[in-house]
Amino acid sequence: MHPSFEFARNIFSRFDKGIWTLTLIDLINAAGFSTCVPFLSLYLYQERGVAMALVGTAFLASGLISAVTQMIGGYLSDRYGRKKIILISMSLNIVNNIGMIAMIAYSAPVWVILFVYILGRAAGMTARPALSAMVVDLSKREQLTETYGLLRVGRNLGWAAGPALGGYLATFLSYAWLFGVAVLMNTVAFLIILFFLKESWSETTERIDIRSIFSVVENKTFVLFTGLCLLVFLCMAHLGSTLSVFTVDRLGFSTAEYGLLLTTNGLFVVLFQYPVALFISRLKKSTVLVLGSLLYCIGWLYMGWTTGFAWALTAMIIVTVGEIIFSPVATAVVGELAPREKRGRYMGFFGWSETIGMSVAPLVGGILLDTFIETPNLVWVPISAFGFIAAAGFFWWDRRVRKNI
């Protein structure tokens, strides 16, 4: 057998078939979402005359509500099983996207479009902790970092393909039909889950109440870890609005150059995420978390003092390496800290912190851009500080809990 085929067979057999199914689902869903949603703000601003401040507020509200529904989804996946919650969430998402097609096609009031988008986003995010918990169900403990690295490759492939497809289709189709493409992709993912994904968890008789949903806060080690991750997310989520305004408006880069920075990020993740995850899975996780946080800190600080595109590209590579090593390890630590019967809730709580960080970070970046108009390089000092504080916190956290993770 040819060595390349032997290598591919070894990689495929290394993971449970369910992991490959989840990776494919992540790819398809990410492609469907990124085909239409990144262009929603453009549609609202250019065709409906909505102020960007209102669009940003709606997206922030969407993130905050989705953070709550993730926690609920995590609990429900522990109570009723992973597959059932994923299917319900995806069904609601498909119905929502069909509604978006009709509303955009018939120019429904803007507030109705935003309201339905927020509801659909919240429903769709309910499945995320169930998916993450299923990964823990199907993986060996020592392979969690590697497995989450594999899923990130699939997700980033989807994120790379979606905007390119959406941008192409938008040249000859109305914006409403971009949601039609998302419906098609979501339906394909739904059918794959329905017929090819086996349930990894059985129902329990645990009573559903508020105390059970928030029972994860009893684990102080996990709560502290989640708080430190929140600082990293506040440092992480600036590839969109903050970086775009800084590079194009303040540094004078072209939109094509800004796009190339994002392309570099995506390509590096797709090409290097899995081999890097395979390597760092052998290292102490707390060390990797400290290093990842510091790389975010260094990369964004370097971006603030960049003098040209090549320097900005270097900064982006540093940030991307931080992303590649931090993200799969952080999720793997959650999987290790979570008791078997509460994996969904732990993933939901972790997803809550991630969504809050990703939603608030653009607002923080916007305030900093408005504050440091004359000295734009200082925008990145407070942002980098989040990463530095997180790195120090993870170092202290490891010594405090005294566990080899």
| pLDDT value for 9 | 62
| pLDDT value for 171 | 78
Helices 17-36 and 144-169 sit at what angle, rounded to 10 degrees?
30
| pLDDT value for 129 | 93
The whole-model pTM stands at 0.87
| pLDDT value for 8 | 58
Closest to 165 measured CA to CA, from 257, 30, 298: 30
* pLDDT by residue, tens only, the chain of 405 residues: 545 555 556 667 788 899 999 999 999 998 888 888 777 877 887 788 877 667 778 878 888 899 889 999 998 898 888 999 999 999 999 999 999 999 998 889 999 999 998 998 898 899 999 999 999 999 988 899 999 999 999 998 888 788 778 777 877 778 888 889 999 999 999 999 999 999 987 766 556 565 677 788 888 899 999 999 999 999 998 887 788 888 888 888 887 788 788 888 888 998 999 999 989 988 999 999 999 999 999 999 999 998 899 999 999 999 999 999 999 999 999 999 998 888 999 999 999 999 899 888 888 888 898 888 888 889 999 999 999 999 999 999 888 765 555
CA dihedral 135, 141, 142, 148 (to 10 degrees): 20
Domains annotated for the chain, with CATH where assigned, are 15-199 (1.20.1250.20), 216-405 (1.20.1250.20)
Cα separation of 345 and 59, whole Å?
24
Do residues 225 and 217 make contact, with C-beta atoms less than 8 angstroms apart?
A: no
Distances (CA, A) of 216 to 131, 156, 347: 18, 30, 10
